[in-house]
Amino acid sequence: MEREFANKVVLVTGAASGIGKATALVFAEQGANVVVADIGSDGCDATVELIKAAGGNALAITADISDETAVRSMLDSTIKHYGRLDHACNNAGILGSMLPLTADYSVDTFDKVIAVNLRGTWLCMKYEIPLLLKSGGTIVNTASIAGLVGFPTLSAYVAGKHGILGLTKTAALEYATQNIRINAVCPGGVRTPMAGFTGENDAAAEAASAQYAPNGRVAEPEEIADAIMWLSSNRSSYVNGHGLVVDAGSTVR
């Protein structure tokens, strides 16, 4: 049976770790040529090695998504190497600080979080869309349940993730007749370094994340990757401008 993404070119940002790494691996398993992009070059290389060891095809690109020149060059390198882009997963992000209340939040941290999470996602879309217009395709942005509800002490992160859903909806409407679908995923707590799973105090991270989940456990990165893959596939052909919540129901309480 032909694999679902055979010969497709898929770009995943933040693919050195966590959800992005799981997403890159699952697309490669389904036959895609995967562009593994991240600000961290060692992690990019490690993900590419895993893909190649499993018989897949991948290209590592080191890029800071908050830097316009780097984003343009990331897409130029994609075209130079693979000749096309079919699916983009704009997943890279940072949490920023988790302690201060809104009035105490640092201006520098606020600017940094918005520059990466919101402006960075938009920059990726800006340079991906002209490529996707050539033969159609999809974009899936990684938002968060923090794009739907407030979280005390995370004002920049919450604002940026709400903004990603706004960008997703707007671009989805703009390109709906041009064979491009644009959606987002909104994960709850996921077992990644961003959620405190660094290997040092994972039990505390598990307890912190699991307390919000009605099923009492944190999500595995692969469970979010599967949602990203579904939104990228033809199986979701009538889904557009959607923020797919993957949180075991924590936001429907």
Ligand X SMILES: NC(=O)c1ccc[n+]([C@@H]2O[C@H](COP(=O)([O-])OP(=O)(O)OC[C@H]3O[C@@H](n4cnc5c(N)ncnc54)[C@H](O)[C@@H]3O)[C@@H](O)[C@H]2O)c1
Q: Which residues are catalytic?
A: 157
Q: Per CB under 6 A, which of residues 147..166 are in contact with ligand X? A: none
Q: Which is nearer to ligand X, 1 or 203 (CB)?
A: 203
Q: Per CB under 6 A, which of residues 104..133 are in contact with ligand X? A: 116, 120
- State the DSSP H helix or E strand holding residue 12, giving kind and residue range, or none if neither: strand 9-13
> Could you tell me if 5 and 31 are in contact, meaning their C-beta atoms sit under 8 angstroms apart?
yes
Q: Which is nearer to ligand X, 33 or 141 (CB)?
A: 141
- State the DSSP H helix or E strand holding residue 186, giving kind and residue range, or none if neither: strand 180-187
Q: Per CB under 6 A, which of residues 209..248 are in contact with ligand X? A: none
Residues 52-64 as b or e (16 or more Cβ within 10 Å = b): eeeebebbbbbbb
> Could you tell me if 93 and 156 are in contact, meaning their C-beta atoms sit under 8 angstroms apart?
no
Any contact of residue 144 with ligand X (CB under 6 A)?
A: yes
Cβ-closest position to ligand X: 18
Q: Per CB under 6 A, which of residues 29..68 are in contact with ligand X? A: 38-40, 43, 64-66
Q: Candidates 45-53, 79-87, 125-133, 183-191 — which segment interacts with ligand X by CB under 6 A?
A: 183-191
Q: Which is nearer to ligand X, 208 or 239 (CB)?
A: 208
Please return the burial class of 69, using the count of CB atoms within 10 Å of its CB with bins 0-12, 13-18 and 19+.
exposed
* 88 vs 174: CA distance, rounded Å: 17
Q: Which is nearer to ligand X, 39 or 172 (CB)?
A: 39
Q: Which is nearer to ligand X, 1 or 99 (CB)?
A: 99
Cα-trace Rg, the chain: 17
How far CA 120 is from CA of 27, 92, 203, in Å, comes to: 22, 8, 32
How far CA 53 is from CA of 18, 62, 78, in Å, comes to: 19, 20, 21
Q: List the helix and strand counts (H, then E) for the chain.
A: 8, 7
Among 11, 16, 180, 244, binds ligand X (CB under 6 A): 16
Question: Minimum CB separation from ligand X for residue 1, in Å?
Answer: 30
Among 9, 12, 13, 78, binds ligand X (CB under 6 A): 13
Task: Note the residues at the interface with ligand X (CB under 6 A).
Answer: 13-14, 16-20, 38-40, 43, 64-66, 91-94, 116, 120, 142, 144, 187, 189-190, 192-195
